[in-house]
Amino acid sequence: MKRLLLVSLLAFGLVAGCRSSGAPTTTTSATPSSSAPTIARGTETPAPEVQPTAEDATRLIALQGANNVRDLGGLQGKKAIPKDRVIRTADLSRMTETDRTTLAQHEVKLDLDLRTHAEVGRAPDPLAKDPRFKYVNISLLGDAPLKLEQFPTLGDLYVHALAENQQQWKQVFQTLAAQTDGAVLYHCTAGKDRTGMVTAILLELAGVDRDAIIHNYAISASYLHDQTREFLAKNPKIAHIAGTPPVAMATFLDTLDKQYGGARAFLVKVGITDAEITALSHRLGQST
């Protein structure tokens, strides 16, 4: 039964994995909520789903075969993040040829797949064989199963990821920094957990307001509503890891700031160089 539960979680997009090392696989081919909740860790109680605003809708990239595809362009850091620089999304395995052309029109050059090897095997990313894109797979949370019962909330899982997956964080941000042209796209399966954490670090690095970072995370639940409803109909006992409660991202940001000194300090800790951080800032439109 536990094995079946793990398979279900992987299919939905919450990776239950952690590895200490591993090289990436490479082929070439808002207006935020005005009052983000402050809730203690371990108390992620059900809350109303956060709805996207009209401004959020301007960042949505409509694809026929993928959900939760959003440009970070327009979010306000020290300066506004430019469009067609950084794109977050969910699983791309059902993309059409038209979808791939749309991403090319958005200047996507790098497709960074944050899923496990097992997830990639079940649902291959079609951009991996498209010569218009460079494809890199780095399993952000690794491939060895975790004991999910030790994580009563998503926030607890996210905090664990900061502490235990630092080699993978290094690989992810080195890969993003090394791509100097076009747009970078990154994704997991649901585009909410691994993708949400990477997004939060990028946005904090850019100087985006905390409430706006939480809002950008929380609206994923709205874009994934039908997918989540179908999943929970089959797995009602694990509703606590299916959504995007604002408190989960608040917990992540609290830990990132208080324990690691913020996004930049965390990146330095895991081995990202000053030059690489400058490259990331440039991509985010924050360089002088």
CATH 3.90.190.10 assigned to domain 2-31+42-283? The reply is yes
Q: What percent of the chain has pLDDT over 90?
A: 71
Residue 28 pLDDT exceeds 70:
no
Distance from C-alpha of 17 to C-alpha of 7, rounded to nearest angstrom: 12
Q: What is the pLDDT of residue 215?
A: 98
Q: What is the pLDDT of residues 95-131, one digit of tens each?
A: 999 999 999 999 999 999 999 999 999 999 999 999 9
Residue 228 pLDDT exceeds 60:
yes
Residue 221 pLDDT exceeds 60:
yes
Once rounded to an integer, what is the mean pLDDT over residues 267-282?
98
Q: Are 154 and 94 in contact (CB under 8 A)?
A: no
Q: What is the pLDDT of residues 40-57, one digit of tens each?
A: 344 455 567 899 999 999
pLDDT band of 235, cuts 50, 70, 90: low
pLDDT band of 13, cuts 50, 70, 90: low
Residue 227 pLDDT exceeds 80:
no
Residue 60 pLDDT exceeds 80:
yes
Q: What is the pLDDT of residues 125-163, one digit of tens each?
A: 999 999 999 999 999 999 887 676 678 899 999 999 999
Q: What is the pLDDT of residue 283?
A: 98
97 C-beta neighbours (distance < 10 Å), count? 11
Quote the mean pLDDT of the chain: 85
Once rounded to an integer, what is the mean pLDDT over residues 211-238?
84
What would the 3-class secondary structure string for 245-288 be?
CHHHHHHHHHHHHHHHCCHHHHHHHHCCCHHHHHHHHHHCCCCC
Q: What is the pLDDT of residue 49?
A: 84
Q: What is the pLDDT of residue 45?
A: 53
Catalytic residue numbers read 188
Whole-number Cα distances in Å, 209 to 32, 36, 151, 153: 9, 11, 28, 24
Q: What is the pLDDT of residue 38?
A: 35
Residue 8 pLDDT exceeds 70:
no
Buried b (16+ CB within 10 A) or exposed e, 44-81: beeeeebebeeebeebebebebbbbbbbbbebebeeeb
Q: What is the pLDDT of residues 63-81, one digit of tens each?
A: 999 999 999 999 999 999 9
Residues 6+ apart with CB under 8 A from 2: none
Q: What is the pLDDT of residue 144?
A: 82
Once rounded to an integer, what is the mean pLDDT over residues 168-179?
98
Residue 255 pLDDT exceeds 90:
yes
pTM metric for this prediction:
0.87
